[in-house]
Amino acid sequence: MIDIGAGASRLPDALPADGREDITVLGISREALAVTRERLGSAEGRVAYVVSDVLSWEPSRTYDAWHDRAVLHFLTEPANQAAYVDLAARTISLGGLLVLATFGPDGPTSCSGLPTARHSAEDLAALVARAFTFTHAETRIHRTPGGSEQQFTWISARRTDGSH
């Protein structure tokens, strides 16, 4: 499994307990990934760390699952969104799982000083349709550490051969 935009995410902490032993975390912040590496200590060897912008990354293998909770919404240009989906399609094994979370239609238009794209479940399903079969969607409200609320759209989809 690969966690895109992992930073100091706690997702890798839970995955070994869930039976996953092959985890890659990718993020642009060397410092945030160092926090995760330090925290996971005993998981050394089961977790690989990649410091890269997702669109600059050249994967050397495929994964059975791709998780992204907040990178795609920073890609505001349609060409970058298409490149992201193409990368996910090349990186996820046939039948593998894509899990995406982006700001929803009522989510913020900027985050951390950067503009964001907002997506409905229908938008995301259409965006990934050429290589994935949509399986599930939900809307959730995320409360930030500062107490504000942000709408997120979550979807899951399975990697197909593109001929569905």
> pLDDT of 1-14, one tens digit each?
999 987 766 666 66
Count of other CB atoms within 10 angstroms of residue 5: 21
> Which neighbouring-strand residues pair with 92?
63
CATH superfamily of 57-164: Vaccinia Virus protein VP39 (3.40.50.150)
Which pLDDT score is estimated for 18? 62
Cα-based torsion angle of the residue sequence 87, 21, 102, 160 in order, rounded to the nearest 10 degrees: 50
Structure tokens at 11: 């997702």
**pTM of structure:** 0.89
What is the predicted pLDDT for the residue at 97?
Answer: 98
pLDDT for 5: 87
End-to-end CA distance of the chain: 24
| The residue to which tokens 């902490």 are assigned | 13
Whether 1 and 67 have beta carbons less than 8 Å apart is answered as yes
Name the CATH code of domain 1-52 (choices 3.40.50.150, 3.40.50.300, 3.10.50.40, 3.40.50.1370). Answer: 3.40.50.150
How far apart (Å, rounded) are the C-alpha atoms in residues 46 and 40? 10
* Per-residue pLDDT, 164: 46
Comparing 1-52 with 57-164, is the CATH topology the same? yes
pLDDT at 19 over 50: yes
Domain boundaries, the chain: 1-52, 57-164
